Chains A and B, each alone.
Chain A
Amino acid sequence: MKKEGVKLIENGKRLDGRGLDELRPIKMEIGVLKRADGSAYVEWGENKIMAACYGPREVHPRHVEEPDRAIVRVRYNMAPFSVPDRKRPGPDRRSVEISKVTKEALEPVVLTHLFPRTVVDIFIEVLQANAGTRCAGITAAALAMADAGIPMRDLVASCAAGKIDGKVALDLMGLEDNYGEADLPVALAPNKKQVTLLQMDGNFTRAEFEEAFEKALGGCLKVYEMQKKTIRKKYEV
């Protein structure tokens, strides 16, 4: 992961002018798709992500349904044009993993027992990627679920922290992710204070890990406030 020769922090500022505790600019929109039961669009720095939610609806294939609760299915997919070199379309090892962890990040907040034998389907389409797409995807998917009126224990907000030039920084962008030393995506159910996703790429010392984790949680809370504002803006009065 570590490549030499790129200076990522100069005079305490990062390459895009942010401080170490600053998020990229985030824009959220909700209810953007007519045909889906719920949808959301998130622009997170250079990331552009569309999420759609369907259900609860009948499960196909039948054998995966649960007699006492709803299941949650997630498909994370990247558009071929989402990255500088064309991404070969279709699921690959990375997107299958992200689909799995996203599902596990969202399922704990859904009140699944209310809808036995059904499924909540979530589709996350990455239109443009620049590091941190799983966090942006989870954030967008939670908004899409709220838009679909699916009963939830809490929203889910997600944000990452990483290590660049030996320093812990919030929300790495593409360049920092490529040349940095570590990345730590976190998803949080803010009112429950429950972490539903925690991954680590690269290496932190124990102290660095704790610092990065706290920073990421702080980022999640900022993202959560934006999510609330987005829902309120669309549906209040």
Chain B
Amino acid sequence: MTEEGKFVTPGESLGISEEFMPGYGTYEEDGSIFAAVSGTVKIDMRDRSLSVAPKVSVPPEIHDGDIIIGKIWEMKSQLALVDILKIKGVERGLPGNVRGALHISKARAGYVSDLSKEFTIGDVIAARVVDAGREPVELTTAGRDLGVVKAFCSRCGASLEPFKRGLRCVECRNVEPRNVSDIYGKGEV
């Protein structure tokens, strides 16, 4: 068995399966546990698990409470379906296509009667992850920084700017109702 804090590279043997459960950054094969990423060994004697705390950059994972940036790709009466593009503040892209769902009850802190007045297909939104364990990932936009961060006019396709509590087209002056984030148009991702 290896000691806590030892630096390991992929393929190095860490322990045996009878003794420990394989945790993050490890894998089990032929009754033994091996490192899958480069980092330091962590031994948890409470749940008897072996894991590797990575020292290299690893493919990002979505966790509860993360703020994500996504694009609405489908609207239903009670649900907005979101293509999750990235985790806010994490430069590295997500491994593949991750889908999210935003229920009407989680669009705002208060009551929402019509979800189509909150979002439209193509809107780029910031949302908080409520439950990352589900598929699609459960999201909420209740919060000042959350909601639409960039959108385009449904009539002419030009850029929209904040106007009163919704958005207005810079070209055709068309006013559209939206759940607008405080960081709308600031390019903070």
> Hey, which bits of chain A sit against chain B, CB under 8 A?
37-38, 55-59, 70, 109, 111, 115-118, 146-155, 189-192, 227-228, 231-232, 235-236
* Distance between Cα atoms of A58 and B37 in the complex (Å): 21
Closest to A154 in B: B11
Tell whether, in the assembled complex, residue B95 and residue A118 are in contact, meaning their CB atoms are under 8 Å apart: yes
Interface residue total, chain B, C-beta cutoff 8 A: 25
Q: Choose among B9, B25, B37 the residue that contacts A232 (Cβ–Cβ < 8 A).
A: B9
Can you offer 15 A-B residue contacts whose CB atoms are under 8 A?
Answer: A58-B96, A59-B96, A109-B10, A115-B95, A115-B96, A146-B9, A146-B10, A148-B57, A149-B56, A149-B58, A151-B10, A153-B27, A190-B11, A232-B9, A236-B55
Chain A: minimal CB distance from B135 (Å): 12
Determine if A235 and B56 form an interchain contact, defined as CB atoms under 8 angstroms apart.
yes
Q: Whole-angstrom distance between the alpha carbons of A154 and B9 in the complex?
A: 8
Tell me which of B10, B12, B36, B56 has the highest count of chain A C-beta atoms within 10 A of its own C-beta: B10
Q: Which residues of A contact B58 (CB under 8 A)?
A: 149
Task: List B contacts of A150 (CB < 8 A).
Answer: 37, 59
Q: Residue of B at shortest CB range from A116?
A: B96
* CA gap between A129 and B70 in the complex, in Å: 44
Q: Is the CB of B97 within 8 A of A117?
A: yes
Contacts of B29 in A (CB 8 A): 153
Flag B45-85 by CB within 8 Å of A: 1 or 0 each. Answer: 00000000011111100000000000000000000000000
Q: Which residue of A lies closest to B40 (CB)?
A: A236
CA distance A155 to B96 in the complex (A): 24
B38 contacts A151, C-beta separation under 8 Å: no
* Of A191, A232, A235, the contact of B11 (CB 8 Å cutoff): A191
Chain A min CB distance to B170 (Å): 32
User: Which residues of chain B come closer than 8 Å to A115, judged between CB atoms?
Assistant: 59, 95-96
CB within 8 Å of A: which B1-24 residues: 7, 9-13
Least distance between A228 CB and chain B CB atoms (Å): 5
Q: Once the chains are docked, how many angstroms separate the CA of A149 from the CA of B54?
A: 8
List the A side residues contacting B37 at CB < 8 Å.
146, 149-152
CA–CA, A141 and B29, complex, Å: 24
B152 CB within 8 Å of chain A? no
B143: interface (CB < 8 Å):
no
Contacting pair B10 A153 (CB below 8 A): yes
Residues of A within 8 A of B12 (CB): 191
A38 to B97, CA, bound (A): 20
Docked-complex contact B96 and A56, CB < 8 angstroms: yes
Bound Cα distance from A116 to B96, whole angstroms: 8
CA A189 to CA B9, docked complex, whole Å: 13
Q: Are B92 and A37 in contact (CB under 8 A)?
A: yes
Contact B96 A236, beta carbon cutoff 8 Å: no
B34 at the interface (CB under 8 A from A): yes
Task: Kindly list chain B residues whose C-beta atoms are within 8 Å of the C-beta of A189.
Answer: 11
